[in-house]
Structure formats: C-alpha cells, structure tokens
Amino acid sequence: MTPNTIKVALIGNPNVGKTSVFNQLTGLNQQVGNYPGITVDKKTGICKINQITRAKIIDLPGTYSLNANSIDENVVIELLLNKNDEDFPDVAVVVTEVENLKRNLLLFTQIKDLEIPTLLVINMSDRMKQKGIELDIPLLEKALKTKIALISSRKNIGIDKIKELILNYKSLSKEACLNASSIDEEYFNRLRKAFPNQLLYKLWLVITQDVNFLNLERNEIENNFTRSHTELKKLQQKETIKRYQFINDTLKVTQKIDKSKATDFQSKLDNILTHKVFGYLIFFGILLLIFQSIFDWSSIPMDFIDTSFSKFSAYTKENLPSGKFTDLLSDGIIPGIGGIVIFIPQIAFLFLFISVLEESGYMSRVVFLMDKIMRRFGLSGKSIVPLISGTACAIPAIMSARNIENWKERLITILITPFITCSARLPVYAILISLIIPEKRFLGFSLQGLTLMALYLMAFFVAIGSAYILNKLLKLKCKSYFVVEMPSYKVPMFKNVALNVLEKTKAFVTGAGKIILAISIVLWFLGSHGSANFDNAEKIIAEKHEKPLTEEMRQNKINAYKLENSYIGMMGKTIEPVIKPLGYDWKIGIAVVSSFAAREVFVGTLATIYSVGSQSEEEATIKMKMAEDIDENGNKIFNFATGISLLLFYAFAMQCVSTLAIVKKETNSWKWPLIQLVFMSGFAYVVALIAYQTLK
C-alpha cells in the first residue's frame, strides 16, 4: 500500500445501494476474492481521489448491526476490531438510504462507538421529493458528530462529495453519538476499570460476539464479565432500544416527512406480484421469457463463435509447421477452449436476467412468494435465496445458506442446492437440446426454449422433493421465523447490471477455462498416442480393404481406427459396458467421466475427441460433428433417446468437484458430500437408464 492510499471500508444494510456506490467509486477497477480462511466474497476496488491520492475501497457484506447472526456479518466485526488486519480502514463510509434512515442509523451509531473516523452517506436523494422527505443536513451532522454526503448513486449525484470527505477523513470526529454504556453503568464501569487501556465498546463486542483482537486474556473476561446468554441478549436489546431512542429524537428535529406526497405505488404493485394466484403466473411468465431469450437471442453470436473457432483450428493446422505442437494447438487447445467460449452469450444472458431481477427489487418478492410453498417441505423461507442463487452457481449458493440459523434447515438446503440447474449445466443442455429438439415453435414459443425451461422446473421440483424426504429422515422438529425486506422498486442501473454480468461471466469462463485447458491437453495426448495398432493404423486399414478407397474415405477410416485404439479409446471401451445401457458410446463415456471435474467440460471433451479424430482440413463445428456421428450400424449416436438420457443424467448427477469441496467446508465433514455424490450420481444413472430403455 503506497503512502498516498487511503483504506476505506464501505458498510451498510442490505438494499441501501451500497453496491451502486461501490461501482460509481471504483468502476472497472475491481477485484473479487475471499477473506483469508473464509469462503465469503471480498470485493475491493481502487478509486482515484485526486492526482496523488487513491482510495482502496473494501465493500463489506451487508449487515443490519454489529450484533452478528451470520458468518457474512461477522466479517464486518472482525475487520473493524482487528487493527493488525492489512485492510483495517482509515475511514468507515456508512451507506444509508433516505427512506429507511431510522433503521440504517443503528449501524452507524455502533461504528461511531469504535472511534473509527466515520462519514455518513445518505443515498437515493432523488426520491426525496417524490416521498415528501426533507432533511436538515447541517443539524443532522451536528447531532451525529460526522459529515454527510447526500447522494444519488443512480444519477451520479454527490459522488465527488464522498471523495472529498474521504480525502479529509482526518478532520472527522471520532466522538460517539451517545453513551450506550448507560444501559448498565455498574457493569460497564467495572469493565472500564479492569481494562483501562481498551476501548469500552470493543470490549463489549468481544464479550458478545466471541471474537478477540485485543490481546486480552480470554479467561479473565469469561470469569469476571461474561454473563449468561439470556442476560447478554437482554443487554443487547437494551442497547438497541437506547440507540433507537437517540435516533428517534434526532430525526424528530432533522427530518420532515409529508406523507400526503408519498405514493402507494409500491404497495399496489406488491399486491399484484405477491398475489396467491397472479404472483405465481407472473413469475412463471418471467421464467418463460428468460428461457426463450436464452435460445433466441444468443443463437447468432453462438453460431459465429462456433464457426470462428472451427476455422481458426483448421487455419492453425494448415499454416503452422506440422508436428506435435501444431496438433496439440489445433486438435486439443483450440477446440477445447472453443467448447466453453461458445456458451458465453447464453451464460451472459442468464446473469443479465438475474441481475435485472435483483436490481429491480423483484427477487425479494419471489423469495416472499415462494416461502409459502417451501415451508410445506421442511425448508426455511431463507432457503429460497440459495435455491435461486443456484441457477448461477451452486458454490456461492451453498455459502449463502449461512444466514439460516437452524443447523438442520441449513444442512438440508446445502444438500439439495446442487439439484438446481446451474450455469455450468447450460452448455451441456444447449448443445444436446439443439441436437435432438427441432427448431420449431408451439403457440409462438420455441420448443428448444420450452425444453430448457422444463429442465429447470424439473430440477427445482426434485430439489424440494428431496428436501421433503430429508426432512422426514432427519426428524427435523424446529421453529424458525422468516423475515425478508421488501426493497423499493427501482429501474435497474445499467452500470450495476453490466458490471455484475461482466464479473460473473468472467469468473465462469476463467474458472472453467483453467480446467478445460488442462483436460484438453491430457485428452489430446491420450487421443494422439496408443497401442501398436494405433501406430500401424494405415497398414491395418489397407489390409482390411482390398478395394481401393478414395483418399477421403481412407483418411476417415484411419482416423477413426486410430481414435479407437488410442489410450483414450481404450479407456472408453473399458467403461462402455457400464454406460451402454444408457445409450452412450465410449466417446460419450469419456466426456461423462472427464466432466466430473466440472459439468461444462463435457462439451470441451467431445470437441477435443472429435477434433483428434477428424481430418486436418475439416472446418465442421462441434455441433455438426456430433450430429453426423454414427455407430457401426449407421445409426446416429446422438438420437432422441440418447439425448434425453444425457439431459436427465446431467440434470441430477453431482458432477462438480468444487461443489463437493465447498459442501465439505461448510459441513466440516466428508460424510455429507460423499452422501451427495453417491445418491445424486446413482439417482441420475437410474433415471437416465429408464429414460433410454423406454424411448429407444
């Protein structure tokens, strides 16, 4: 960190526009990682304050207070208490929003007690007139002992004010807003006398939050100052009441709300979107639109990418010197990477729709709507968030289950989330649906889009069905309460949506790309080397066919023979008896086995296998090669029965090593991920077997 870099912690409640402020300050200068030792997203970005000063912005997880109830919220406390942390802030920026200022200020008053320079950002100022809200900013600054930036991140108003206040953070008052220790003066006075060199509120957080960054003897605190859980909770409640009394008194003289100017548009819209009948129909219609768009809108860029990679592979083989490196590049790396890049348009569209739903505030309504159904299956209402997030990726979805307080409910959510169709399955679904489902329309809707939607819905119903069974098996008997905040409806900000789509798509492609590249190289080697028959392929083919063959036919037979007698071919033939009842040949078998590393590897593997076994001058796309592949009897390999079998197998199989690893980390045991692996893979095999044997 350079001397002219200011470390800034961006803190706030969920749904206050904190991400929008972060994006406005940092733009594309963002990085996403994990906090050390914790699989919680850590977003950092660089903001240029002036010519010589930069700010490192740390976007902390959303939290309602410093009384943490989840791992995400605990991250905020641990950073603010640990002065030895490399990211310990020089200044805390607390983001609030003008419509819920009373609730948002609770967190602000707590952070002020930590004696960290703290400035207040009040967002959504553009809604003040519409809502009939007036604020006396100078008086509010005086009462809260801070400086305030009144902004609208949506209209890029006031961002320069934030930068100015960050630059002058040393002038901010460190004085607390109120004396919270008055809730039990005798107790806090003893605490102050016992540790005169420590900040009183930090001591209180160490006692109540089970953290220790003050180099204190834990035993001394526990023996003399730790009370029962019930007593501590009562003190926390008194503290909260004390703070809200101060906030109420402050807002009485600094805030005016003319309720006659406020509109009831949100409540009217909520009545429709969360209606017990129309709410579900609207949600179903939105899903239908999403899956139609994924196929219809992405077809042109996908065809362009597919053709471009095929031509690039052929160009490489024709123009580079012949040899092993050229073969590796043209038959291994390029087709393998092309097998994943082709699906960027579809994945980007999926993340686009998810981002728009979240930004608009509609996703919270979906959570509320679906809670009524979920409770019947033994799931917490909070389980809906991981299940919806699972449509992007199971890994962050499983991590998001941390906000479920009850362990059994959280465990069930973790176990069923991998059933939800994630974006890694999308490449497999897309290529198989395009092969076996005709490009026709039913009542104006694409059959391919309807098939994709059916797969998503089927996965969801299997997930909640599994939850019901687990609920009975685990004898789940507990009471839980579901609370969800309904944020105001907003027109999604283009910048937020674009950055989110870019970040998620980049993470998907780079994450999958590393696996694809490694596996493509291994598969190319296994497909380009083999037994003695592999080396003598030309001679053996010549002996088998007494009649002269055209050069094209001869080369095709040599390539096919080489592939079957390569190392990868021998591996495929070995497992073929197990997968043949499902309708799979040895090539599909290799793709299925290799995709246990990650589902999206399936397409890249087939792209590599078909490229190794193709003619050098061929420019056919992977889709064309799969469509034209036939067995020894002249029947298509990828027929309807095999395609449906594969779709069902990938819908249910646990084929993601990373997901297994995160389940192990979250459950702190190999027991549950192994149960997941065995059950999901066994279930997928049986369903795929029944489907193929029925349809063939």
Other C-beta atoms lying within 10 Å of the C-beta of residue 551: 9
Residue 559 lies in a domain: yes
Q: What is the pLDDT of residue 35?
A: 39
Residue 144 lies in a domain: yes
- Domain termination site, one of 117, 140, 171: 171
Residue 43 lies in a domain: yes
Give the pLDDT mean for 496-509: 78
Q: What is the pLDDT of residue 405?
A: 65
Q: Which two tokens stand for residue 144?
A: 């809260």
Tell me which residue range forms the domain holding 26: 5-171
pLDDT in tens, 175-209: 999 988 888 888 888 888 888 888 888 888 888 77
454-462: long-range pairs with CB below 8 Å, 24+: 455/421, 455/429, 455/647, 455/651, 456/287, 456/291, 456/391, 456/421, 457/287, 458/651, 459/419, 459/420, 459/421, 459/651, 459/652, 460/387, 460/419, 460/420, 462/419, 462/651, 462/652
CA dist., res. 200 & res. 99, Å (int)? 32
| Dihedral sign (CA 9, 11, 16, 19) | positive
Given a cut of 60, whether residue 216 has pLDDT beyond it is no
Q: Which two tokens stand for residue 377?
A: 């299956």
Residue 613 lies in a domain: yes
Give the pLDDT mean for 322-337: 78
pLDDT in tens, 350-403: 778 878 887 888 877 887 787 777 777 877 667 777 787 677 677 767 766 766
Average pLDDT, the chain: 80
Q: What is the pLDDT of residue 89?
A: 93
Closest C-alpha to 200, from 210, 214, 211? 214
Residue 310 lies in a domain: no
pLDDT in tens, 239-275: 999 999 999 999 999 998 876 655 567 778 888 888 8
Whether residue 84 contacts residue 205, with contact meaning beta carbons closer than 8 Å, is answered with: no
- Domain termination site, one of 156, 171, 186: 171
pLDDT range class, residue 39, cuts 50, 70, 90: very low
Q: What is the tally of structural domains in the chain?
A: 2
pLDDT range class, residue 511, cuts 50, 70, 90: low
Residue 187 lies in a domain: no
Q: What is the pLDDT of residue 663?
A: 82
Higher-confidence position of 537 and 498: 498
Q: What is the pLDDT of residue 615?
A: 46
| pTM score | 0.63
- Domain termination site, one of 108, 137, 171: 171
CA dist., res. 399 & res. 39, Å (int)? 7
Whether residue 588 contacts residue 579, with contact meaning beta carbons closer than 8 Å, is answered with: yes
Closest C-alpha to 339, from 564, 599, 568? 599
DSSP 625-672: HHHH-B-TTS-BSS-HHHHHHHHHHHHH---BHHHHHHHHHHHTSSHH
Give the pLDDT mean for 201-223: 66
Q: Which two tokens stand for residue 610?
A: 């078909």
Other C-beta atoms lying within 10 Å of the C-beta of residue 529: 14
pLDDT range class, residue 213, cuts 50, 70, 90: low
Segment (H or E) for 581:
none
Out of 144-158, 474-488, 600-614, least confident range: 474-488
Q: What is the pLDDT of residue 378?
A: 74
Out of 362-366, 478-482, 650-654, least confident range: 478-482
Q: What is the pLDDT of residue 136?
A: 93
Q: What is the pLDDT of residue 220?
A: 57
Residue 502 lies in a domain: no
Q: Which two tokens stand for residue 348?
A: 């980007």
First to last CA, the chain: 64
Q: Which residues contact 467 (CB under 8 A, 6 or more apart)?
A: 377, 378, 379, 383, 412, 413, 416
Other C-beta atoms lying within 10 Å of the C-beta of residue 395: 23
Residue 50 lies in a domain: yes
Closest C-alpha to 359, from 460, 262, 499, 482? 499
Other C-beta atoms lying within 10 Å of the C-beta of residue 203: 19
| Dihedral sign (CA 237, 243, 247, 250) | positive
pLDDT in tens, 288-312: 787 677 667 777 887 788 788 878 8
Whether residue 162 contacts residue 94, with contact meaning beta carbons closer than 8 Å, is answered with: no
Give the pLDDT mean for 123-131: 84
Q: How many CA atoms lie within 13 A of 401 on its CB side?
A: 29
Out of 127-131, 285-289, 476-480, least confident range: 476-480
pLDDT range class, residue 618, cuts 50, 70, 90: very low
pLDDT range class, residue 234, cuts 50, 70, 90: confident
How many angstroms separate the Cα of 628 from the Cα of each of 124, 593, 610, 622?
57, 23, 11, 10
* Chain centroid, CA 390 distance in Å: 7
Give the pLDDT mean for 493-500: 81
Closest C-alpha to 382, from 406, 346, 348, 347? 406
